[in-house]
Chain A
Amino acid sequence: MAMPRRSRRPRTTLLVLVLAAVTIITLDARGGFHVITSGVKSVAADAFAPVRSGVNDIIEPIGSFLAGSVHYGAVRQQNQKLQAEIGRLKRQISSQSDAEQAMKQLSTLLNLPFLANLQTVPAEVTNYGTSDFAATIDISVGRDDGVQLNMPVVGSGGLVGQVVQANHHTATVRLITDGQSSVGVRYGPPPGLLAVLTGEGSAKPLGADLVPSNTPLTNGEQFTTSGLQGALYPAGIPVASVITSKTGATASQESVTLHPLADLAHLRYVSVVLWGPSS
Protein backbone atom coordinates (compact mmCIF):
# COMPACT_ATOMS: atom_id res chain seq x y z
CA MET A 1 0.00 0.00 0.00
CA ALA A 2 1.45 3.34 -1.05
CA MET A 3 2.04 5.89 1.75
CA PRO A 4 0.05 9.09 1.33
CA ARG A 5 2.12 12.03 0.13
CA ARG A 6 2.06 14.98 2.50
CA SER A 7 2.83 18.60 1.80
CA ARG A 8 5.59 20.41 3.72
CA ARG A 9 3.44 23.52 3.82
CA PRO A 10 1.86 22.84 7.26
CA ARG A 11 5.33 22.67 8.84
CA THR A 12 6.26 26.00 7.27
CA THR A 13 2.96 27.44 8.49
CA LEU A 14 3.70 26.22 12.02
CA LEU A 15 7.20 27.67 11.95
CA VAL A 16 5.95 31.08 10.79
CA LEU A 17 3.18 31.13 13.40
CA VAL A 18 5.49 30.07 16.24
CA LEU A 19 7.96 32.81 15.27
CA ALA A 20 5.12 35.34 15.08
CA ALA A 21 3.80 34.33 18.52
CA VAL A 22 7.28 34.47 20.11
CA THR A 23 7.83 37.91 18.54
CA ILE A 24 4.51 39.18 19.94
CA ILE A 25 5.30 37.83 23.43
CA THR A 26 8.79 39.36 23.37
CA LEU A 27 7.61 42.76 22.13
CA ASP A 28 4.78 42.79 24.69
CA ALA A 29 7.22 42.07 27.52
CA ARG A 30 9.63 44.81 26.40
CA GLY A 31 7.44 47.80 27.19
CA GLY A 32 6.71 49.88 24.08
CA PHE A 33 4.51 47.32 22.34
CA HIS A 34 2.71 46.64 25.63
CA VAL A 35 0.96 50.02 25.32
CA ILE A 36 -0.54 48.82 22.04
CA THR A 37 -1.61 45.38 23.34
CA SER A 38 -3.00 46.98 26.50
CA GLY A 39 -4.99 49.42 24.34
CA VAL A 40 -6.33 46.60 22.15
CA LYS A 41 -7.28 44.62 25.26
CA SER A 42 -9.07 47.66 26.64
CA VAL A 43 -11.02 48.16 23.37
CA ALA A 44 -11.94 44.44 23.31
CA ALA A 45 -13.11 44.52 26.94
CA ASP A 46 -15.22 47.66 26.34
CA ALA A 47 -16.72 46.23 23.15
CA PHE A 48 -17.46 42.89 24.77
CA ALA A 49 -18.97 44.22 28.03
CA PRO A 50 -22.48 44.81 26.55
CA VAL A 51 -22.38 41.42 24.79
CA ARG A 52 -21.50 39.68 28.07
CA SER A 53 -24.19 41.58 29.95
CA GLY A 54 -26.81 40.85 27.23
CA VAL A 55 -26.01 37.14 27.09
CA ASN A 56 -26.14 36.86 30.88
CA ASP A 57 -29.56 38.56 30.86
CA ILE A 58 -30.79 35.97 28.34
CA ILE A 59 -29.21 32.92 29.98
CA GLU A 60 -30.47 33.50 33.53
CA PRO A 61 -34.24 33.35 32.74
CA ILE A 62 -33.71 30.33 30.43
CA GLY A 63 -31.87 28.52 33.22
CA SER A 64 -34.67 29.31 35.66
CA PHE A 65 -37.30 28.15 33.13
CA LEU A 66 -35.51 24.84 32.48
CA ALA A 67 -35.09 24.22 36.19
CA GLY A 68 -38.82 24.86 36.65
CA SER A 69 -39.72 22.46 33.80
CA VAL A 70 -37.73 19.63 35.30
CA HIS A 71 -39.60 19.96 38.58
CA TYR A 72 -42.99 20.23 36.83
CA GLY A 73 -42.98 16.70 35.48
CA ALA A 74 -41.54 15.12 38.57
CA VAL A 75 -44.15 15.73 41.24
CA ARG A 76 -47.91 15.74 41.70
CA GLN A 77 -49.95 18.90 41.75
CA GLN A 78 -50.18 19.14 45.52
CA ASN A 79 -46.51 18.46 45.95
CA GLN A 80 -45.78 21.02 43.26
CA LYS A 81 -47.63 23.69 45.15
CA LEU A 82 -45.90 22.80 48.38
CA GLN A 83 -42.51 22.57 46.79
CA ALA A 84 -43.03 25.84 44.97
CA GLU A 85 -43.95 27.44 48.28
CA ILE A 86 -40.91 25.93 49.97
CA GLY A 87 -38.73 27.03 47.06
CA ARG A 88 -40.13 30.54 47.21
CA LEU A 89 -39.47 30.77 50.94
CA LYS A 90 -35.96 29.37 50.52
CA ARG A 91 -35.24 31.85 47.76
CA GLN A 92 -36.61 34.60 49.94
CA ILE A 93 -34.33 33.56 52.81
CA SER A 94 -31.39 33.11 50.46
CA SER A 95 -32.08 36.43 48.77
CA GLN A 96 -32.43 38.15 52.14
CA SER A 97 -29.19 36.61 53.36
CA ASP A 98 -27.54 37.58 50.07
CA ALA A 99 -28.79 41.14 50.37
CA GLU A 100 -27.68 41.30 54.00
CA GLN A 101 -24.21 40.12 53.03
CA ALA A 102 -24.02 42.67 50.21
CA MET A 103 -25.26 45.42 52.54
CA LYS A 104 -22.70 44.41 55.16
CA GLN A 105 -19.84 44.57 52.64
CA LEU A 106 -21.05 47.91 51.29
CA SER A 107 -21.51 49.54 54.70
CA THR A 108 -18.09 48.27 55.79
CA LEU A 109 -16.57 49.78 52.66
CA LEU A 110 -18.06 53.17 53.52
CA ASN A 111 -16.26 53.21 56.86
CA LEU A 112 -12.81 51.83 56.31
CA PRO A 113 -10.76 53.47 59.08
CA PHE A 114 -7.41 52.86 57.41
CA LEU A 115 -8.27 54.96 54.34
CA ALA A 116 -8.41 58.26 56.32
CA ASN A 117 -8.95 61.05 53.77
CA LEU A 118 -8.13 59.06 50.66
CA GLN A 119 -10.72 59.27 47.89
CA THR A 120 -12.28 55.98 46.76
CA VAL A 121 -14.62 54.68 44.08
CA PRO A 122 -16.90 51.79 45.06
CA ALA A 123 -17.14 48.93 42.56
CA GLU A 124 -18.97 45.66 42.13
CA VAL A 125 -16.97 42.51 41.42
CA THR A 126 -18.26 41.24 38.07
CA ASN A 127 -15.95 38.29 37.42
CA TYR A 128 -13.63 36.07 39.38
CA GLY A 129 -10.68 35.82 37.03
CA THR A 130 -10.66 34.96 33.34
CA SER A 131 -7.63 32.67 33.66
CA ASP A 132 -7.04 29.63 35.85
CA PHE A 133 -3.36 30.64 35.93
CA ALA A 134 -3.73 34.06 37.55
CA ALA A 135 -5.57 35.42 40.60
CA THR A 136 -7.53 38.39 39.26
CA ILE A 137 -11.00 39.90 39.48
CA ASP A 138 -12.93 42.15 37.10
CA ILE A 139 -14.71 45.18 38.59
CA SER A 140 -17.49 47.45 37.34
CA VAL A 141 -15.61 50.76 37.24
CA GLY A 142 -12.98 52.00 34.80
CA ARG A 143 -11.16 55.02 33.43
CA ASP A 144 -14.41 57.01 33.13
CA ASP A 145 -14.77 56.74 36.91
CA GLY A 146 -11.23 57.97 37.54
CA VAL A 147 -9.64 54.53 37.83
CA GLN A 148 -6.09 54.31 36.54
CA LEU A 149 -3.43 51.67 36.19
CA ASN A 150 -1.70 50.55 39.43
CA MET A 151 -4.29 52.07 41.79
CA PRO A 152 -4.76 50.12 45.03
CA VAL A 153 -8.01 48.24 45.63
CA VAL A 154 -9.32 47.53 49.13
CA GLY A 155 -12.18 45.52 50.57
CA SER A 156 -13.65 45.08 54.01
CA GLY A 157 -10.71 43.93 56.10
CA GLY A 158 -7.82 45.25 54.10
CA LEU A 159 -5.89 45.32 50.85
CA VAL A 160 -7.33 43.35 47.92
CA GLY A 161 -4.88 44.11 45.11
CA GLN A 162 -3.92 46.53 42.38
CA VAL A 163 -5.47 47.63 39.07
CA VAL A 164 -3.52 46.00 36.21
CA GLN A 165 -5.88 46.82 33.33
CA ALA A 166 -8.10 49.92 33.20
CA ASN A 167 -10.77 49.98 30.49
CA HIS A 168 -13.42 52.66 29.93
CA HIS A 169 -16.10 51.15 32.16
CA THR A 170 -14.39 48.13 33.72
CA ALA A 171 -11.02 47.21 35.20
CA THR A 172 -9.02 44.12 36.07
CA VAL A 173 -7.47 43.82 39.52
CA ARG A 174 -4.53 41.55 40.37
CA LEU A 175 -5.18 40.06 43.81
CA ILE A 176 -2.42 40.07 46.44
CA THR A 177 -2.44 36.25 46.31
CA ASP A 178 -1.38 36.22 42.63
CA GLY A 179 2.15 34.94 42.06
CA GLN A 180 3.14 38.22 40.39
CA SER A 181 2.06 40.34 43.38
CA SER A 182 4.45 41.77 45.95
CA VAL A 183 3.51 44.31 48.63
CA GLY A 184 5.93 46.36 50.74
CA VAL A 185 4.80 46.07 54.38
CA ARG A 186 5.64 47.14 57.92
CA TYR A 187 5.21 45.04 61.06
CA GLY A 188 6.07 44.98 64.75
CA PRO A 189 6.10 47.88 67.25
CA PRO A 190 6.50 51.40 65.77
CA PRO A 191 8.29 52.50 63.69
CA GLY A 192 8.16 48.85 62.58
CA LEU A 193 10.33 46.58 60.50
CA LEU A 194 10.04 46.33 56.75
CA ALA A 195 9.27 43.23 54.68
CA VAL A 196 7.75 42.22 51.36
CA LEU A 197 4.67 40.00 51.11
CA THR A 198 4.50 37.81 48.01
CA GLY A 199 1.55 36.00 46.45
CA GLU A 200 1.78 32.23 46.15
CA GLY A 201 -1.30 31.61 44.02
CA SER A 202 -5.06 31.79 44.33
CA ALA A 203 -6.47 30.57 47.69
CA LYS A 204 -2.96 29.99 49.06
CA PRO A 205 -1.41 31.83 52.03
CA LEU A 206 0.98 34.72 51.35
CA GLY A 207 4.72 34.37 51.88
CA ALA A 208 7.08 36.97 53.39
CA ASP A 209 10.55 38.06 52.29
CA LEU A 210 13.13 40.03 54.27
CA VAL A 211 11.93 38.94 57.73
CA PRO A 212 15.20 38.29 59.65
CA SER A 213 15.63 34.92 61.34
CA ASN A 214 14.45 34.59 64.94
CA THR A 215 12.14 37.61 64.64
CA PRO A 216 9.53 37.26 67.38
CA LEU A 217 6.17 37.04 65.57
CA THR A 218 2.88 36.05 67.14
CA ASN A 219 0.03 34.33 65.34
CA GLY A 220 -2.49 36.92 64.17
CA GLU A 221 0.05 39.77 64.11
CA GLN A 222 -0.92 42.20 61.36
CA PHE A 223 1.26 43.47 58.53
CA THR A 224 0.29 46.83 56.99
CA THR A 225 1.46 48.61 53.83
CA SER A 226 4.74 50.45 54.42
CA GLY A 227 4.05 53.53 52.28
CA LEU A 228 7.72 54.10 51.64
CA GLN A 229 8.63 56.70 49.03
CA GLY A 230 7.75 55.33 45.60
CA ALA A 231 5.70 52.48 47.11
CA LEU A 232 2.77 51.12 45.12
CA TYR A 233 0.37 51.48 48.05
CA PRO A 234 -0.37 54.26 50.58
CA ALA A 235 0.79 53.62 54.15
CA GLY A 236 -1.25 51.90 56.82
CA ILE A 237 -3.57 49.59 54.86
CA PRO A 238 -3.87 46.23 56.67
CA VAL A 239 -2.71 43.43 54.36
CA ALA A 240 -2.40 40.11 56.18
CA SER A 241 -2.01 38.41 59.53
CA VAL A 242 0.56 35.79 60.56
CA ILE A 243 -0.49 32.13 60.43
CA THR A 244 2.85 30.44 61.03
CA SER A 245 6.47 31.53 61.50
CA LYS A 246 9.59 29.47 61.99
CA THR A 247 13.32 29.74 61.45
CA GLY A 248 15.42 26.90 60.07
CA ALA A 249 18.73 26.04 61.73
CA THR A 250 20.81 27.67 59.00
CA ALA A 251 18.24 30.02 57.49
CA SER A 252 18.97 33.73 57.21
CA GLN A 253 15.27 34.55 57.01
CA GLU A 254 12.21 33.61 58.99
CA SER A 255 9.76 31.43 57.06
CA VAL A 256 6.39 33.15 57.47
CA THR A 257 2.96 32.37 56.05
CA LEU A 258 0.16 34.92 56.26
CA HIS A 259 -3.59 35.04 55.71
CA PRO A 260 -5.00 38.01 53.70
CA LEU A 261 -7.23 40.15 55.94
CA ALA A 262 -9.72 40.86 53.14
CA ASP A 263 -11.96 37.88 52.37
CA LEU A 264 -10.70 37.39 48.80
CA ALA A 265 -12.86 34.32 48.17
CA HIS A 266 -16.17 36.12 48.76
CA LEU A 267 -15.65 39.61 47.35
CA ARG A 268 -18.87 41.30 46.19
CA TYR A 269 -17.90 44.95 46.48
CA VAL A 270 -14.52 46.65 46.67
CA SER A 271 -13.20 50.21 46.66
CA VAL A 272 -10.60 51.55 44.28
CA VAL A 273 -8.36 54.05 46.09
CA LEU A 274 -7.76 57.04 43.81
CA TRP A 275 -4.10 57.15 44.72
CA GLY A 276 -0.83 56.83 42.84
CA PRO A 277 2.78 56.81 44.03
CA SER A 278 3.02 60.52 43.13
CA SER A 279 -0.06 61.46 45.20
Chain B
Amino acid sequence: MTPRDVVRVGLVVFAFVVVQQTLMLDLRVGGVHPDIMILLPIVAGLVGGPGRGATMGFGAGLVADLFLPTPFGLSALVGCVIGFGVGVATLALDRSAWWLPPVAALGGSALYEVLYAVLGSLLGQPQMLHVALLQIVVVVSVVNAALALPALRMVAWALAKASIEGMPTSAVASSGTR
Protein backbone atom coordinates (compact mmCIF):
# COMPACT_ATOMS: atom_id res chain seq x y z
CA MET B 1 0.00 0.00 0.00
CA THR B 2 1.22 3.47 -0.83
CA PRO B 3 1.05 6.36 1.68
CA ARG B 4 -1.89 7.64 -0.36
CA ASP B 5 -3.78 4.37 0.18
CA VAL B 6 -3.02 4.50 3.90
CA VAL B 7 -4.40 8.05 4.10
CA ARG B 8 -7.53 7.01 2.20
CA VAL B 9 -8.12 3.99 4.43
CA GLY B 10 -7.55 6.17 7.49
CA LEU B 11 -10.11 8.70 6.24
CA VAL B 12 -12.70 5.99 5.63
CA VAL B 13 -12.14 4.40 9.05
CA PHE B 14 -12.36 7.84 10.69
CA ALA B 15 -15.64 8.57 8.85
CA PHE B 16 -17.07 5.26 10.07
CA VAL B 17 -15.99 5.99 13.66
CA VAL B 18 -17.63 9.44 13.54
CA VAL B 19 -20.92 8.03 12.21
CA GLN B 20 -20.83 5.13 14.70
CA GLN B 21 -20.10 7.35 17.70
CA THR B 22 -22.73 9.96 16.81
CA LEU B 23 -25.65 8.80 14.65
CA MET B 24 -25.55 5.08 15.40
CA LEU B 25 -25.31 5.40 19.19
CA ASP B 26 -28.50 7.49 19.16
CA LEU B 27 -30.30 5.13 16.79
CA ARG B 28 -31.58 2.43 19.13
CA VAL B 29 -34.07 -0.32 18.43
CA GLY B 30 -35.25 -1.94 21.66
CA GLY B 31 -32.13 -0.68 23.42
CA VAL B 32 -29.79 -2.09 20.75
CA HIS B 33 -27.76 0.20 18.52
CA PRO B 34 -26.31 -0.67 15.09
CA ASP B 35 -22.57 -1.31 14.66
CA ILE B 36 -21.31 -0.16 11.30
CA MET B 37 -17.64 -0.74 12.18
CA ILE B 38 -18.33 -4.41 11.36
CA LEU B 39 -19.03 -3.40 7.75
CA LEU B 40 -15.41 -2.41 7.18
CA PRO B 41 -13.84 -5.92 7.22
CA ILE B 42 -16.84 -7.36 5.37
CA VAL B 43 -16.71 -4.97 2.42
CA ALA B 44 -12.89 -4.95 2.46
CA GLY B 45 -13.06 -8.74 2.11
CA LEU B 46 -15.43 -8.31 -0.84
CA VAL B 47 -13.38 -5.59 -2.54
CA GLY B 48 -9.84 -6.63 -1.73
CA GLY B 49 -9.99 -10.34 -0.95
CA PRO B 50 -9.21 -12.32 2.23
CA GLY B 51 -5.89 -10.61 3.02
CA ARG B 52 -7.28 -7.07 2.81
CA GLY B 53 -10.40 -8.13 4.67
CA ALA B 54 -8.32 -9.54 7.53
CA THR B 55 -6.05 -6.48 7.68
CA MET B 56 -8.98 -4.06 7.63
CA GLY B 57 -10.74 -6.14 10.29
CA PHE B 58 -7.71 -5.98 12.57
CA GLY B 59 -7.07 -2.25 12.10
CA ALA B 60 -10.68 -1.09 12.24
CA GLY B 61 -11.28 -3.47 15.16
CA LEU B 62 -8.46 -1.94 17.20
CA VAL B 63 -9.86 1.54 16.52
CA ALA B 64 -13.36 0.37 17.51
CA ASP B 65 -11.95 -1.18 20.70
CA LEU B 66 -10.74 2.27 21.79
CA PHE B 67 -14.37 3.25 22.38
CA LEU B 68 -15.69 -0.03 23.82
CA PRO B 69 -15.77 -1.30 27.41
CA THR B 70 -15.32 -4.92 26.26
CA PRO B 71 -11.82 -6.56 26.23
CA PHE B 72 -9.32 -4.54 24.19
CA GLY B 73 -8.39 -6.47 21.03
CA LEU B 74 -11.56 -8.56 20.85
CA SER B 75 -13.06 -6.55 17.95
CA ALA B 76 -9.70 -6.80 16.16
CA LEU B 77 -9.63 -10.59 16.59
CA VAL B 78 -13.19 -11.15 15.40
CA GLY B 79 -12.83 -8.52 12.66
CA CYS B 80 -9.81 -10.12 11.02
CA VAL B 81 -11.45 -13.57 11.08
CA ILE B 82 -14.70 -12.27 9.56
CA GLY B 83 -12.90 -10.13 6.94
CA PHE B 84 -10.84 -13.13 5.89
CA GLY B 85 -13.90 -15.39 5.92
CA VAL B 86 -15.97 -13.07 3.73
CA GLY B 87 -13.05 -12.74 1.31
CA VAL B 88 -12.66 -16.52 1.01
CA ALA B 89 -16.38 -17.31 0.91
CA THR B 90 -17.04 -14.91 -1.96
CA LEU B 91 -13.99 -15.72 -4.09
CA ALA B 92 -15.94 -18.05 -6.35
CA LEU B 93 -18.98 -15.77 -6.63
CA ASP B 94 -19.82 -13.13 -9.20
CA ARG B 95 -18.74 -9.97 -7.39
CA SER B 96 -20.62 -7.71 -9.78
CA ALA B 97 -23.95 -9.14 -8.53
CA TRP B 98 -25.92 -6.33 -6.85
CA TRP B 99 -27.20 -8.62 -4.12
CA LEU B 100 -23.80 -9.85 -2.95
CA PRO B 101 -22.77 -6.91 -0.69
CA PRO B 102 -26.08 -6.77 1.25
CA VAL B 103 -26.16 -10.56 1.65
CA ALA B 104 -22.50 -10.68 2.71
CA ALA B 105 -23.15 -7.83 5.18
CA LEU B 106 -26.21 -9.62 6.58
CA GLY B 107 -24.47 -12.98 7.06
CA GLY B 108 -21.08 -11.53 8.01
CA SER B 109 -22.58 -9.22 10.65
CA ALA B 110 -24.64 -12.04 12.20
CA LEU B 111 -21.57 -14.30 12.38
CA TYR B 112 -19.49 -11.45 13.78
CA GLU B 113 -21.89 -10.79 16.66
CA VAL B 114 -22.21 -14.47 17.58
CA LEU B 115 -18.44 -15.01 17.43
CA TYR B 116 -17.89 -11.81 19.43
CA ALA B 117 -20.22 -12.99 22.21
CA VAL B 118 -18.77 -16.52 22.30
CA LEU B 119 -15.12 -15.37 22.33
CA GLY B 120 -15.94 -12.65 24.88
CA SER B 121 -17.48 -15.21 27.23
CA LEU B 122 -14.44 -17.47 26.78
CA LEU B 123 -12.23 -14.50 27.71
CA GLY B 124 -13.82 -14.07 31.12
CA GLN B 125 -16.88 -12.02 30.19
CA PRO B 126 -19.67 -14.62 30.59
CA GLN B 127 -22.34 -11.90 30.60
CA MET B 128 -21.72 -11.39 26.88
CA LEU B 129 -23.73 -14.55 26.20
CA HIS B 130 -26.56 -13.41 28.47
CA VAL B 131 -27.51 -10.35 26.45
CA ALA B 132 -30.39 -10.21 23.97
CA LEU B 133 -28.13 -11.76 21.33
CA LEU B 134 -30.88 -12.47 18.79
CA GLN B 135 -32.05 -8.87 18.95
CA ILE B 136 -28.49 -7.59 18.55
CA VAL B 137 -27.89 -9.91 15.58
CA VAL B 138 -31.11 -8.80 13.85
CA VAL B 139 -30.64 -5.04 14.37
CA VAL B 140 -26.94 -4.99 13.45
CA SER B 141 -27.31 -7.33 10.44
CA VAL B 142 -30.31 -5.55 8.91
CA VAL B 143 -28.82 -2.06 9.28
CA ASN B 144 -25.47 -3.24 7.87
CA ALA B 145 -27.20 -4.94 4.92
CA ALA B 146 -28.97 -1.66 4.17
CA LEU B 147 -25.71 0.30 4.32
CA ALA B 148 -23.56 -2.28 2.51
CA LEU B 149 -23.54 -0.61 -0.93
CA PRO B 150 -22.44 2.89 0.19
CA ALA B 151 -19.89 1.28 2.52
CA LEU B 152 -18.58 -0.82 -0.36
CA ARG B 153 -18.14 2.28 -2.54
CA MET B 154 -16.16 4.03 0.19
CA VAL B 155 -13.87 1.06 0.85
CA ALA B 156 -13.45 0.44 -2.90
CA TRP B 157 -12.29 4.06 -3.23
CA ALA B 158 -9.85 3.60 -0.34
CA LEU B 159 -8.44 0.34 -1.71
CA ALA B 160 -8.55 1.35 -5.37
CA LYS B 161 -4.79 1.26 -5.86
CA ALA B 162 -4.10 -1.54 -3.43
CA SER B 163 -3.05 -4.92 -4.80
CA ILE B 164 -5.78 -7.53 -4.57
CA GLU B 165 -4.48 -10.74 -3.10
CA GLY B 166 -5.69 -14.28 -3.31
CA MET B 167 -8.40 -13.52 -5.83
CA PRO B 168 -9.07 -15.01 -9.24
CA THR B 169 -8.42 -12.71 -12.18
CA SER B 170 -12.12 -12.45 -12.99
CA ALA B 171 -12.88 -11.30 -9.47
CA VAL B 172 -10.18 -8.64 -9.63
CA ALA B 173 -11.59 -7.36 -12.90
CA SER B 174 -15.15 -7.17 -11.60
CA SER B 175 -14.20 -5.47 -8.33
CA GLY B 176 -12.18 -2.93 -10.26
CA THR B 177 -15.28 -1.82 -12.13
CA ARG B 178 -16.96 -0.54 -8.98
On A, residues with C-beta under 8 Å from B are 4, 6-7, 9-11, 13-14, 17-18, 20-22, 24-25, 28-29, 34, 37, 40-41, 44-45, 48, 51-52, 55-56, 59, 127-134, 136, 164-165, 172, 174, 178-180, 199-204
Contacts and interface: CB of A to CB of B under 8 A. Distances in A.
Given A51-B18, A201-B130, A14 B54 contact: yes
B158 to A, nearest CB: 18
B51 A133 contact: no
A133 B67 contact: no
A20 B70 contact: no
Please indicate which of the listed interface residues B31, B70, B131 has the most CB atoms of chain A within 10 Å of its own CB.
B131
B73 A132 contact: no
A18 B81 contact: yes
Contacts of B2: none
A128 B32 CA distance: 10
Contacts of B131: 132-133, 201-202
B71 A52 contact: no
Contacts of A174: 69
Contact of A13 (B18, B54, B70, B169): B54
B67 A18 contact: no
Interface size class of B (residues with CB under 8 A): 35 or more
Given A10-B51, A29-B124, A127-B25, 6 more contacts: A10-B166, A14-B54, A25-B123, A28-B71, A133-B120, A202-B131
Given A13-B54, A21-B61, A56 B22 contact: yes
B126 interface: yes
8 contacts: A4-B170, A10-B54, A13-B50, A17-B55, A17-B76, A21-B77, A130-B21, A203-B31
Nearest to A131: B68
Contacts of B157: none
B58 interface: yes
A130 B69 contact: yes
A247 B117 CA distance: 31
Given A9-B165, A28-B73, A133-B120, A48 B58 contact: no
Given A10-B165, A21-B58, A179-B128, A130 B68 contact: yes
B177 interface: no
Interface in B61-83: 61-62, 66-74, 76-77, 80-81
Given A10-B165, A179-B127, A21 B51 contact: no
A12 B136 CA distance: 32
B13 to A, nearest CB: 13
Contacts of A44: 66-67
Contact of A172 (B18, B21, B69): B69
Interface string B14-34: 000110011101001001110
A129 B23 CA distance: 13
Interface in B5-60: 17-18, 21-23, 25, 28, 31-33, 35, 49-51, 54-55, 57-58
Nearest to A28: B72
Interface string B138-157: 00100000000000000000
Contact of A55 (B18, B58, B66, B117): B18
A52 B22 contact: yes
A131 B113 CA distance: 11
Contacts of B80: 14, 17-18, 21
Contacts of B28: 128
B102 interface: no
Contact of B73 (A24, A130, A180): A24
B12 to A, nearest CB: 16
